[in-house]
């Protein structure tokens, strides 16, 4: 069988796979989902066994980092059986890192088991430390539940990175509160520019857009920002705050094109492979998965898709209409 590593047309090895395991979530964050989402019929979703086979195939082709996303991955029924089986690749050394992005609501329940399976760190999405604002932006979420989950993650020894979407007029006034809180808790912190994805009704993206260049300038008024050269091959650029030694990340899809070193692809919970978050081009991996118990057709489909991976994408708010605006919700591709 063909196990040569995956290399895209621009000589970038594909070593990082993000997989959404569900489109469902127990929150309804205003920039991610409509309040009354139409969720997918169960038969369209990959089963846990299909997800394992898909991820294992990618690992066999050189993927070293696997990130599980959603929706909210921990609301999928029996998801821990998937984590338990896929963690075998950590034990063999085929996989360097297994991790997940979560809203934190289920961590009080699952953090010990995740840590026991070899997961070392997690990303937790959190946009405000104000309980009322948290309830407003998540529509259904409770901040105290998330904070209890974060405590459980710390007790279990999981390294936590907080992902905060920068939203003008919403959490601008909490910039230093968030930085100070993460310092006190021992969490890393990454700020993310809001992305033009999905039709959010009256939640206008241009009104919410807070450029991270402005956020960063405000940070620099209080802290000395030391540039860090490290790159995960992903979109984040990092600085260290000299006064606290905190690592702060910035993900700026709109004001900084981060595609040159892109080493990642994404698979949705229905088995669509997206080679670029900012492009509609995708490949159906569910059909070859279900057509045969043999992986040859699946590998052929993956290789064909990677051969079409584009060099970059185009998101630009400067024209006040969003070029390259995506019609799908963020929950569909897993953030």
What angle (nearest 5°) sits at the alpha carbon of residue 60, between those of residues 56 and 66?
55
pLDDT at 3: 79
pLDDT at 323: 42
Residue 121 assigned as binding residue: no
Q: How many folded domains does the chain comprise? A: 1
Residue 161 assigned as binding residue: yes
Residue 259 assigned as binding residue: yes
Indicate whether 182 pLDDT > 90.
yes
Percent of the chain with pLDDT over 90: 73
The answer to whether residues 68 and 21 touch, using CB atoms and an 8 Å cutoff, is yes
Indicate whether 292 pLDDT > 60.
yes
For residue 3, being part of any structural domain is answered with no
Predicted TM-score of the model (pTM): 0.90
What's the domain range around 161?
16-333
pLDDT at 208: 80
Give me the mean pLDDT over the 231-242 stretch: 82
Indicate whether 277 pLDDT > 70.
yes
pLDDT at 256: 47
Residue 262 assigned as binding residue: yes
Task: Flag the least confident range among 90-104, 146-160, 239-253.
Answer: 239-253
Report the distance separating Cα 302 and Cα 30, nearest Å.
33
**Average model confidence (pLDDT) across the chain:** 89
Indicate whether 205 pLDDT > 60.
no
Report the distance separating Cα 234 and Cα 123, nearest Å.
14
Residue 67 assigned as binding residue: yes
What angle (nearest 5°) sits at the alpha carbon of residue 89, between those of residues 101 and 150?
25
Residue 101 assigned as binding residue: yes
Residue 276 assigned as binding residue: yes
For residue 217, being part of any structural domain is answered with yes
Task: Flag the least confident range among 133-137, 150-154, 204-208, 323-327.
Answer: 323-327
The angle that helices 296-306 and 48-60 make with each other, rounded to 10 degrees, is: 60
Residue 32 assigned as binding residue: yes
| CATH code at position 185 | 3.20.20.70
For residue 110, being part of any structural domain is answered with yes
Residue 15 assigned as binding residue: no
Task: Flag the least confident range among 19-33, 127-141, 188-202, 219-233.
Answer: 188-202
For residue 7, being part of any structural domain is answered with no
| Residue 266 CB coordination number (10 Å) | 21
For residue 4, being part of any structural domain is answered with no
pLDDT higher at 96 or 251: 96
Give me the mean pLDDT over the 284-292 stretch: 97
pLDDT at 194: 81
Give me the mean pLDDT over the 204-209 stretch: 67
**Contacts of 76 by beta carbon, 8 Å cutoff, 6+ apart:** 21, 22, 24, 70, 82
Report the distance separating Cα 113 and Cα 158, nearest Å.
11
The secondary structure of the chain, three-state, reads CCCCCCECCCCCECCEEEEECCCCCCCCCCCCCCCCCCCCCHHHCCCHHHHHHHHHHHHHCCCCEEEEECCCHHHCCCHHHHHHHHCHHHHHCCCCEEEEEECCCCHHHHHHHHHHCCCCEEEEECCCCCHHHHHHHHCCCCHHHHHHHHHHHHHCCCEEEEEEEEECCCCHHHHHHHHHHHHHHCCEEEEEECCCECCCCCCCHHHHECCHHHHHHHHHHHCCEEEECCCCCCCEEEEEECCCCEEEEEECCCCCCCCCCCCEEEECCCCEEECCCCCCCEEECHHHHHHCCCCHHHHHHHHHHHCCCCCCCCCECCCCCCECCECCCHHHHCC
What is the Cα 323 distance to its own chain's centre? 22
pLDDT at 326: 46
Residue 29 assigned as binding residue: yes
pLDDT at 231: 65
* Residue 209: pLDDT band with limits 50, 70, 90: confident
**Contacts of 294 by beta carbon, 8 Å cutoff, 6+ apart:** none
Indicate whether 102 pLDDT > 50.
yes
For residue 172, being part of any structural domain is answered with yes
Residue range 108-158, pLDDT digits in tens: 999 999 999 999 999 999 999 999 999 999 999 999 999 999 999 999 999
For residue 137, being part of any structural domain is answered with yes
pLDDT at 321: 42
Report the distance separating Cα 45 and Cα 125, nearest Å.
24
* Residue 214: pLDDT band with limits 50, 70, 90: very high
Residue 266 assigned as binding residue: yes
Residue 71 assigned as binding residue: yes
The answer to whether residues 258 and 322 touch, using CB atoms and an 8 Å cutoff, is no
| Residue 74 CB coordination number (10 Å) | 26
The answer to whether residues 135 and 90 touch, using CB atoms and an 8 Å cutoff, is no
Residue 269 assigned as binding residue: no
For residue 5, being part of any structural domain is answered with no
The answer to whether residues 37 and 28 touch, using CB atoms and an 8 Å cutoff, is yes
């Amino acid at each position: 069988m063909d196990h040569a590593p995956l290399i895209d047309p621009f000589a970038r090895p594909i070593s990082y796979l993000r997989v959404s395991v569900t489109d469902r979530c127990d929150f309804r964050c205003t920039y991610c989902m409509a309040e009354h989402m139409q969720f997918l019929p169960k038969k369209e979703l990959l089963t846990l066994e299909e997800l394992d086979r898909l991820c294992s195939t990618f690992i066999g082709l050189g993927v070293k980092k696997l990130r599980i996303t959603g929706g909210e991955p921990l609301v999928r029924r029996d998801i821990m059986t998937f984590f338990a089986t896929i963690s075998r690749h950590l034990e063999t050394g085929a996989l360097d890192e297994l991790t997940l992005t979560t809203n934190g609501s289920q961590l009080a329940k699952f953090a010990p088991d995740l840590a026991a399976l070899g997961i070392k760190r997690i990303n937790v999405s959190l946009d405000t430390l104000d309980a009322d604002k948290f309830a407003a932006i998540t529509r259904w979420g409770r901040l105290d539940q998330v904070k209890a989950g974060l405590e459980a993650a710390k007790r279990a020894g999981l390294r936590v990175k907080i992902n905060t979407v920068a939203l003008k007029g919403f959490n601008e006034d909490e910039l230093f509160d968030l930085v100070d809180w993460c310092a006190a808790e021992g969490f890393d912190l990454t700020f993310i520019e809001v992305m033009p994805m999905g039709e959010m009704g009256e939640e206008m993206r241009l009104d919410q857009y807070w450029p991270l260049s402005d956020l960063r300038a405000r940070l620099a008024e209080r802290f000395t920002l030391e540039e860090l050269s490290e790159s995960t091959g992903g979109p984040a650029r990092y600085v260290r705050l000299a006064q606290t030694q905190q690592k702060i990340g910035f993900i700026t899809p709109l004001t900084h094109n981060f595609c040159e070193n892109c080493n990642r692809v994404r698979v949705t919970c229905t088995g669509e492979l997206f080679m670029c978050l900012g492009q509609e081009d995708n490949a159906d991996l569910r059909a070859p998965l279900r057509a045969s118990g043999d992986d040859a057709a699946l590998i052929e489909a993956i290789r064909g898709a990677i051969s079409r991976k584009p060099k970059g994408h185009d998101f630009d708010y400067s024209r006040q209409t969003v070029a390259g605006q995506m019609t799908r919700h963020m929950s569909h591709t897993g953030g």
